Amino acid sequence: MQTVEITPEIIQRHNLTSEEYDRIREILGREPNITELGIFSVMWSEHCSYKNSKQVLKLLPKEGSRILVKAGEENAGVVDIGDGWVIAFKIESHNHPSAVEPFQGAATGVGGILRDIFTMGARPIASMNSLRFGKLDSGDVATTKRLLSGVVAGIAHYGNCIGVPTIGGEVYFDESYEGNPLVNAFALGLARREEIVRAKAEGVGNPVFYLGAATGRDGMGGASFASRDLTEESEKDRPAVQVGDPFLEKLLLEAVLELLKSGCVVGIQDMGAAGLTCSTCETASRGSTGIEIDVAKVPQRETGMVPYEIMLSESQERMLVILKKGREAEAKRIFDKWDLHAEAIGRVTGDSLMRVKDNGVLAAEIPARSLADDAPVYAREEKEPAYLRKVRAFDPKSLGDPGDLNAVLLKLLDSPTIASKEWVYRQYDHMVRTNTVVLPGSDASVIRVKGTGKSIAISLDCNSTYCYLDPYEGGKIAVAESARNVACSGAEPLSVTNCLNFGNPYNPEIFWQLKKCVEGMRDACDAFGTPVSGGNVSLYNQSPKGAIDPTPTIGMVGLIEGREPVTSFFKEEGDVILLLGTTREELGGSEFLKTIFNVKAGLPPRLDLGEAGRLVNLLLGLSRAGILKSAHDCAEGGLAVALAESCLLGRRGEIGASVKMPKGALSSEALLFGETQSRVVLSVAEENLKKAQRMIESYPFEVIGRVGGDRLKISLSAGPGDLIDAPLRVLSHAWRNAIGRRMGV
Amino acid sequence: MMRFSVVVFPGSNCDHDCYHVLKHVLGQPTEFVWHKEREISKFDCVVLPGGFSYGDYLRTGAIARFSPVMEAVQKHAERGKLVIGICNGFQILTESGLLPGALLRNASLQFVCRFVHVRVENTDSPFTRKTSKSEVLEIPIAHGEGSYFADDDTLAELKKNDQILVRYTDRRGLLTPESNPNGSLESIAGICNKRRNVFGLMPHPERASERELGSVDGIKIFKSILEMN
């Protein structure tokens, strides 16, 4: 054993509290050595143990008739889509590494989430991502641009090379993310039901193999790095950011899927966060077994590495594979075919211990279950944040006249959060494998499953301004908006994955935000019947300037069967435009306030879950009846922006619209730019109008206008003049070039 | 019937996409061929698919050209049989000398994935015979290094022999600077060899071969190949 004295300072450097250290001593019945201390510190970090969020995560509904593998059971949740097909999907954060080294941080985020999917036996068929940065017009613009271009290039580098299409997502700009960008990577895989494998170490005596890249000192303690605040010192953490090799991962992907088909595998797990440590103790814990490895047998690309470093390294593109004894030669043929390096490093034991040797000498010995499942669980103090009273007291009516409404619309279309994200997604290969039937840009992206008549719609959403102003309502709306987006594409919402991005949970106000957001998500998931099948928690998202806005990113997955998906853009001259839903005087938390008045305040829109659920069912009915020409959710920027987007989104050309709105008691600003929930802009062919009206009569709606021409016109049905009258080419230019012109390319 | 092989290099990504179109959309006998294979004489047409062979480390296509299968592809071409290289496949063909010129980094220095328009420049080839001259095809591109380059003599030779089969244009078929997505010399999107049996192009016709994917213009290239016999 190594003889490094464990001092209070060393314990603190490992982000362990003195109570946690006492608990470690209790578990071991002795003092830990430095290797054991390191192992505990990464396994008991928030990233691996969810010690501060577990209590809150319990609130989320996890049960459902289609759920085959539940949240927390494996590396990703698995959902039944019928006829023997299943999908495995998950979203995970790579925020801290991306803040320090955007290209590799984002690239390895993609690599990690893909490994979580294919180690379950599912072939990854789509990636998406939710990205958040500071503003491109104010603050530290140079850093924000460097982060945006680095993150996008990193995602493109990894995703394009490995050949999994990156089919969309969201990009959001707000000053709260300055210096602390969010990079949430989503992946979805497809398998036959019987192909799904578990990451279990079973069968005493079965050999444990190490597969893939050699271990280096990169990514040392990344999981604990991700579990503390970002500071000026974080630059020094650059060695904690891993370097990705997508080509190697492509070989791993093909080899692992071939290996799993061969039937010689007992269990397999990615060495992601906490590397060899996490993969060994988690597989043993799940299999109720022990595991013994010798780190001297681990392929190493640096010399002089000690057990502590080998166990904690987060070098990328590595797998732990437990084979059936006697099938080693068969597996080796597959490793050789793909030019992959594999080494037998240990075996499954029956003593429930994770035992690490270094060239035969004992280096660590810990009960596997205590690492994986017995991390402390904290009920953190919570307190309603003081800022809420102030921001909620704000009355949007106190602001003056916004000026010319055409200019306001133009400014909104030019704001990077609303503008076209083509600058981003054209850098991603979003078409490879020829399944992407709705390309990025629509409400949801849709991929087909060849030969089955099934398609899968996916939407990533979160309006973090709403969550900042009202975490409960914001959490609800994040789920509802993603469900609405999926339904707009004609899909039935099935299940949710989530990535909870928050500040430091030791701050009671932050913890309150977390809890309220999750309560909102819970109520919405219950209302839509969409259980949470998995996800990830990223806390400590704060820089010296403060915490990020609460950001519970939702990934909603939906299913379309036997029909073509619906897209967001207007199709043909003469089609009739309808607006589903009632518009209310709701400007609080809107992009309108943020962009035009630079105000982030007010009460965000209220969401009625009953209404939201009825809307989803209605959209599904219309889509099944085959009469929807287009369907587009009203979100950031309100009705005016939704109409403009429906005019501009078509790949084969833009098409105008003329709309007349009943005003009622609303202000023009609320009518055009308010973000009242549960509203959708539809278009139908004239001959189907009566049928559509009959189908939606139980829900508030208005026939508001027609598709056609080369302008967007919005006027009031009573009263003079147009509110909006703008040529599409002007709107289009602002909307298409907003990000490119700021990035200078 | 044509017998197709789709070569799989480590890092090939569009192998399944080409296979799908040839086998399931067009119903042709099609097989994957592993890059270590040396015997491909039973096939009529070899497809070198897109992707990142060997991670495109060093230089796109630079390592794949040394795969054992490439010697067999060379012989296959010498016998006058057909070879089509798409995207990374085109890069491998220029690296191995089966086609002249080279593919450089996009002028934007960014990877670009989107639908583009290409104009058919010449229909006298096994790859374009089912299209009409000046026909505009809507087909996606997806590459970081697709800027075609050749020296003056090579370019003159290409023109003299009508080897330029497709060029990037706008939707009306006009050559404009905006419609050249990667800075290719004279907007060249695809060329054939002098014997006209080897074709390389950056756009992905296999991504525009089914209505659900938004365009069926790409299938005309595969259907042209079927006209062979």
CB contact under 8 A, A431 and B113: yes
Retrieve residue A219's tokens.
């990514």
Residue A737 to chain B, least CA–CA distance (Å): 14
Shortest Cα distance, chain A CAs vs residue B126, angstroms: 24
Q: Confidence class of residue B23 from pLDDT cuts 50, 70 and 90?
A: very high
Residues of B in contact with A250 (CB under 8 A): 10-11, 13, 52, 55
Which chain B residues are closer than 8 Å to A150 by Cβ?
A: none
Mean pLDDT of chain B: 95
Could you confirm whether A14 is annotated as catalytic?
no
Contacts of A602 (CB under 8 A, 6+ apart): A391, A392, A394, A395, A396, A469, A587, A588, A589, A590, A593
Give the Cα separation of A647 and A636 in Å (integer): 16
Which residue is it, tokens 């209590």?
A: A55
**pLDDT tens figures, A608-649:** 999 999 999 999 999 999 999 999 999 999 999 999 999 999
Token pair of A196, please?
A: 């799904």
Comparing CB atoms, the residue among B111, B142, B144 nearest residue A431 is: B142
- Classify residue A632: in a domain, yes or no: yes
Name the CA radius of gyration of chain A, rounded: 26
How many C-beta atoms lie closer than 10 Å to residue A27's C-beta? 17
Is the distance from CB of A676 to CB of A606 less than 8 angstroms?
Answer: no
Torsion of the alpha carbons at A228, A232, A238 and A241, rounded to the nearest 10 = 30
Beta-carbon separation of A250 and B114 below 8 A: no
- Residue tagged 């392929």 (tokens): A299
Domains identified in chain B, total number: 1
Instruction: Give the DSSP letter string of A576-606.
Output: EEEEES---S--TT-HHHHHHH----SPPPP
Residue B18 has pLDDT above 90, yes or no: yes
Mean pLDDT for the stretch of residues B52-64: 80
Q: Please give the C-alpha separations between residue A472 and each of A240, A520, B17, B47, in angstroms, as whole numbers.
A: 35, 5, 45, 55
Q: How far apart are the C-alpha atoms of A77 and A62, rounded to whole Å?
A: 10
Give the model's pLDDT for residue A1.
43
pLDDT at residue A2 greater than cutoff 50: no
Rounded mean pLDDT, A328-337: 95
Contact B90, B127 (CB under 8 A): no
In a domain, A735, yes or no: yes
Test A431 with B213 for CB contact under 8 angstroms.
yes
Cα B109 from Cα B180, distance rounded (Å): 14
Q: What confidence tens digit (pLDDT) does each residue in A289-303 have? A: 999 999 999 999 988
* Helices and strands in chain A, H and E counts: 26, 28
Phi and psi at residue A413, in whole multiples of 5°?
Answer: -65, -25
Closest residue to B140, CB basis, from A163, A425, A431: A431
User: Final residue of a domain: which of A316, A343, A375?
Assistant: A375
| Chain A residues touching B214 at Cβ < 8 A | 439, 651
How confident is the model over A444-458, as a mean pLDDT?
97
Residue ranges with strand state E in A466-528: 492-501
With CB atoms and an 8 Å threshold, state whether B213 touches A434: yes
Q: Which of A430-444, B27-41, B44-58 has the lowest mean pLDDT?
A: B44-58
Average pLDDT over residues B159-169: 98
Contact B10 A248 (CB under 8 A): no
Residue A247 · residue B11 · CB < 8 Å: yes
Cross-strand bridge partners of residue A268: A321
Closest partner residue to B13 among A153, A163, A428, by Cβ? A163
**Inter-chain contact B10–A251, Cβ cutoff 8 Å?**
yes
A687-723: b (≥16 Cβ within 10 Å) or e = ebeeebeebbeebebbebbbbeeebbbbbbeeeeebb
Maximum pairwise Cα distance, chain A: 88
Closest-CA distance of chain A to residue B224, Å = 21
Q: Measured between alpha carbons, how far is A284 from A275 in angstroms, rounded to an integer?
A: 14
State the CB neighbour count (10 A cutoff) for residue A686: 11
Rounded Cα distance, A729 and A688, in Å: 30
Q: What is the pLDDT of residue A242?
A: 76
Residue of A14, A47, A96, A430 marked catalytic: A47
Beta carbons of B11 and A153 less than 8 Å apart: no
For residue B87, indicate whether it is catalytic. yes
H or E element that contains A161: helix A141-162
Report the gap between the CA of A186 and the closest CA in chain B (Å). Answer: 20
Within a domain: A652 = yes
Pairing of strands B4-8, B45-48: parallel
Give a yes or no: residue A1 inside a domain: yes
- Taking only residues 136 to 175 of chain B, the set having a beta carbon closer than 8 angstroms to any beta carbon of chain A reads 140, 142, 144
B142 and A339 in contact by Cβ < 8 A?
no
Q: The sheet that has A318-323: what strands, in order across it?
A: A265-270, A318-323, A207-212, A342-349, A290-294, A353-358, A361-367
Parallel, antiparallel or unpaired: strands A722-727 and A207-212:
unpaired
Q: In what order do the strands lie in the sheet with A551-561?
A: A436-438, A445-449, A454-461, A551-561, A492-501, A532-538
- What length is written for chain A? 745
Contact yes or no for B52 and A430 at CB 8 A: no
Count of CB atoms situated within 10 Å of the CB of A67? 21
Q: What is the pLDDT of residues A342-393, one digit of tens each?
A: 999 999 999 999 999 999 999 999 998 888 888 888 889 999 999 999 998 9
Q: How many angstroms separate the CA atoms of A189 and A86, rounded?
A: 8
pLDDT of residue B61: 77
pTM (two decimals): 0.94
Judge whether residue A236 has pLDDT over 80.
no
Q: Are B58 and B52 in contact (CB under 8 A)?
A: no
Q: How far is B211 from chain A (nearest CA, A)?
A: 9
Could you tell me if B212 lies within 8 Å of chain A, comparing CB atoms? yes
Distance CA A710, CA A692 (A): 26
Q: Do residue A161 and residue B56 have CB atoms under 8 angstroms apart?
A: yes
Pick from A153, A429, A448: which is nearest to B212 by CB? Answer: A448
B145 is catalytic: no
Q: Which residues on A lie below 8 Å from B17 (Cβ)?
A: 432-434
Question: Which of A349, A375, A401 lies at the terminal end of a domain, its last residue?
Answer: A375
- Element (H or E) spanning A647, and its range? helix A638-648
pLDDT at B55 over 90: no
Sheet with A722-727: list strands edge to edge: A630-633, A680-684, A576-580, A701-707, A657-661, A711-716, A722-727
Q: What is the pLDDT of residue A228?
A: 59
Interface residues from chain A to B (CB-CB < 8 Å): 153, 156, 160-163, 245-248, 250-251, 338-339, 422, 425-434, 436-437, 439, 448, 450-451, 564, 651, 745
**Rounded Cα gap, residues A311 and A467, in angstroms:** 38
| Long-range own/partner contacts, residues A382-388 (CB < 8 A, 24 or more apart) | A382/A508, A382/A511, A382/A512, A382/A515, A383/A508, A383/A509, A383/A511, A383/A512, A384/A509, A384/A512, A385/A509, A385/A512, A385/A513, A386/A509, A388/A469, A388/A470
Q: What is the pLDDT of residues A573-589, one digit of tens each?
A: 999 999 999 999 999 99
Which residue is associated with the tokens 């209404």?
A611
Report the relative pairing of strands A630-633 and B164-169 from DSSP bridges.
Answer: unpaired
**CATH number of residue B93's parent domain:** 3.40.50.880
Contact residues for B199 (Cβ-Cβ < 8 A; gap 6+):
B82, B83, B84, B85, B125, B126, B127, B165, B190, B191, B192
Chain A nearest-CA residue for B13: A163
Interface contacts A/B by beta carbons within 8 Å: 90
Name the domain count of chain A: 2
Distance, CA of A102 to CA of A94 (rounded, Å): 10
Under 8 Å between Cβ of A213 and A108: no
Give residue-wise pLDDT tens across range B64-93: 888 899 999 999 999 999 999 999 999 999
Domain residues for the domain of B185 are: 4-226
pLDDT at B53: 85
Is residue A728 a part of any domain in this protein?
A: yes
- Asked, for residue A134, whether it belongs to a domain, the answer is no
Contact assignment for B213 to A436 by CB distance below 8 Å:
yes
Q: Which residues in chain A have their CB less than 8 angstroms from residue B204's CB?
A: 431
Mean pLDDT value of segment A185-197: 95
Question: Between residues 29 and 58 of chain B, which touch chain A (CB distance below 8 Å)?
Answer: 50-52, 54-57
Interface residue B66 vs chain A (CB under 8 A): no
Q: How far is A718 from chain B (nearest CA, A)?
A: 41
- On the question of pLDDT at A394 being above 70, the answer is yes
Nearest CA in chain A to B139: A431
Give dist(CA A180, CA A540) in Å, integer: 10
A429 vs B contacts (CB less than 8 Å): 13, 111, 113, 142
Angle at B206 between CA B204 and CA B210, to 5 degrees: 125
CA–CA gap between residue A709 and residue B189 (Å, rounded): 35
Note the pLDDT of residue A221.
60
Indicate whether B228 pLDDT > 60: yes
Residue A98 to residue A183: CA distance in whole angstroms = 7
pLDDT of residue A285: 87
Q: Please give the span between the terminal C-alpha atoms of chain A, in angstroms, as a whole number.
A: 56
Mean pLDDT (whole number) for B7-31: 96
Q: Provide, as residue numbers in chain A, all residues whose Cβ is less than 8 Å from the Cβ of B50.
A: 432
Question: How far is it, in rounded angstroms, from Cα B129 to Cα B146?
Answer: 24
Phi-psi region of A91 (alpha: psi -120 to 50; beta: other; left: phi over 0): beta
Answer yes or no: do B20 and A436 touch at CB < 8 A. Answer: no
Partnered with residue B102 across adjacent β-strands are B149
Contacts of B54 in chain A (CB under 8 A): 247
The catalytic residue among B95, B121, B145, B206 is: B206
B68 at A interface, C-beta within 8 A = no
**Percentage of residues of chain A with pLDDT beyond 90:** 80
Q: What are phi and psi of A373, to 5 degrees?
A: -120, -10
User: Which of A347, A375, A403 represents a domain boundary (last residue)?
Assistant: A375
CA distance A35 to A27: 15
Q: Which residues of B touch A156 (CB under 8 A)?
A: 111
Contact A216, A300 (CB under 8 A): yes
**Containing structural domain, residue A681:** 566-745
Phi, psi of A742 (to 5 degrees): -75, -30
Please check the confidence at residue A232 and state whether its pLDDT lies above 60.
Answer: no
Residue count (chain B): 229
Distance of residue B54 Cα from the nearest chain A Cα, in angstroms: 7
- Please, which pLDDT band fits residue A222 given cuts at 50, 70 and 90? low
Rounded distance, CA B205 to CA A696, Å? 42
CATH of the domain at A728: 3.90.650.10
Q: For CA atoms B204, B209, B213, B217, give the dihedral sign.
A: positive
Among the ranges given (A12-16, A121-125, B126-130), the one the predictor scored with the smallest mean pLDDT: A12-16
Active-site option among B14, B45, B87, B192: B87
C-beta neighbour count of B212 within 10 angstroms: 16
Minimum distance, in Å, between the CA of residue B36 and any CA atom of chain A: 10
User: Is the dihedral angle over the CA atoms B101, B107, B113, B117 positive or is it negative?
Assistant: negative
pLDDT on residue B74: 96
**CA distance linking residue A294 with residue A302, whole number of Å:** 17
Name the band, by pLDDT with cuts 50, 70 and 90, for residue A500: very high
Average pLDDT over residues B131-145: 97
A81-110: average pLDDT = 95
**A448 occurs within a structural domain:** no
Average confidence (pLDDT) over A449-466: 97
| pLDDT averaged over every residue in chain A | 93
| pLDDT tens digit sequence for A15-43 | 899 999 999 999 999 999 999 999 999 99
Please spell the DSSP secondary structure of A118-139, one letter per residue.
HTTTPEEEEEEEEEEE--SSSS
